[in-house]
């Protein structure tokens, strides 16, 4: 048994980019942690929710004007519900006290987040996992920074292992990047669909505004058609 730490740049990456791998690691008996690295406050969904427009896929109009802090807290609720649905223990769902503002995570800040989360765990039994860096194509800057930080720390032998996952929305990968498709077990698939549902829950009275669906609806639609993850087999 080992500790596995997933570093999720934003609320939703843990399901759309790592979900199938998280379920598989839990099924294999590993102690799995998920660390949220930014506040998710820059999503376009915040403006949309305040726009007074009417939405096609849930009852209710958008008249929800949230401060950045309240919006971020709403996203955190979606993240925690998603992680619980994936099967993570509540105490292993971590929002980094050092988290960066959305779109403002530097590689240095990401290194501090990774070291802070894994502090006290035996390096030889600790594996870190995050999104694969793709400098040849446009990638979210937080994704790129955390990927770079994980690579730099692993190169210094700070951890027993590093695994990268290819971003779903950046597929297909170029020919020289070998991928292994992580297909969930039947039980895992149920968990993945429940986790995705956490991002579509519209219950304003409970502070749930389906922020995930409002920000990347098409991505979630594609994901729930075939929930899986893409492990990168090519080491860089």
Q: Which residues bind Zn ion (CB under 5 A)?
A: 9-10, 13, 55
Between residues 1 and 56, which has the closer beta carbon with respect to Zn ion?
56
Minimum CB distance to Zn ion, residue 185 (Å): 25
Whose CB is nearest to Zn ion? Answer: 55
Minimum CB distance to Zn ion, residue 164 (Å): 14
Minimum CB distance to Zn ion, residue 171 (Å): 15
Q: In what order do the strands lie in the sheet with 126-131?
A: 93-100, 31-38, 3-8, 126-131, 161-165, 229-232, 179-182
Between residues 57 and 89, which has the closer beta carbon with respect to Zn ion?
57
Burial class (CB in 10 A: 0-12, 13-18, 19+), 15: buried
Between residues 13 and 78, which has the closer beta carbon with respect to Zn ion?
13
Between residues 60 and 123, which has the closer beta carbon with respect to Zn ion?
60
Q: Can you tell me the distance from the alpha carbon of 135 to that of 186, in angstroms, rounded to the nearest whole number?
A: 35
Minimum CB distance to Zn ion, residue 73 (Å): 18
- Asked whether 142 and 103 are in contact (CB, 8 A), the reply is yes
């Amino acid at each position: 048994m080992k500790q596995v730490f997933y570093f999720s740049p934003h609320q939703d990456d843990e399901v759309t980019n790592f979900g199938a791998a998280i379920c598989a690691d839990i099924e294999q008996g590993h102690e799995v942690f998920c660390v949220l690295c930014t506040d998710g406050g820059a999503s376009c969904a915040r403006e949309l929710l305040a726009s007074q427009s009417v939405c096609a896929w849930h009852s209710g109009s958008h008249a929800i004007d949230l401060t950045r802090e309240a919006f971020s807290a709403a996203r955190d609720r979606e993240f925690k519900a998603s992680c619980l649905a994936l099967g993570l223990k509540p105490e292993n769902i971590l929002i980094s006290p050092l988290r960066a503002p959305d779109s403002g995570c530097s590689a240095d800040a990401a290194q501090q987040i990774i070291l802070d989360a894994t502090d006290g765990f035996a390096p030889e039994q600790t594996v870190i996992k995050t999104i694969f860096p793709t400098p040849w194509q446009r990638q979210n800057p937080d994704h790129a920074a955390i990927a770079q930080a994980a690579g730099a720390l692993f190169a210094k032998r700070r951890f027993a292992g590093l695994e990268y996952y290819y971003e779903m929305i950046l597929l297909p990968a170029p020919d020289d990047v070998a991928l292994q498709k992580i297909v969930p077990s039947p039980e895992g698939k149920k968990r993945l669909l429940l986790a995705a549902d956490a991002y579509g829950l519209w219950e304003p009275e409970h502070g749930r505004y389906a922020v995930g669906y409002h920000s990347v609806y098409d991505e979630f639609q594609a994901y729930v058609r075939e929930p899986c993850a893409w492990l990168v087999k090519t080491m860089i």
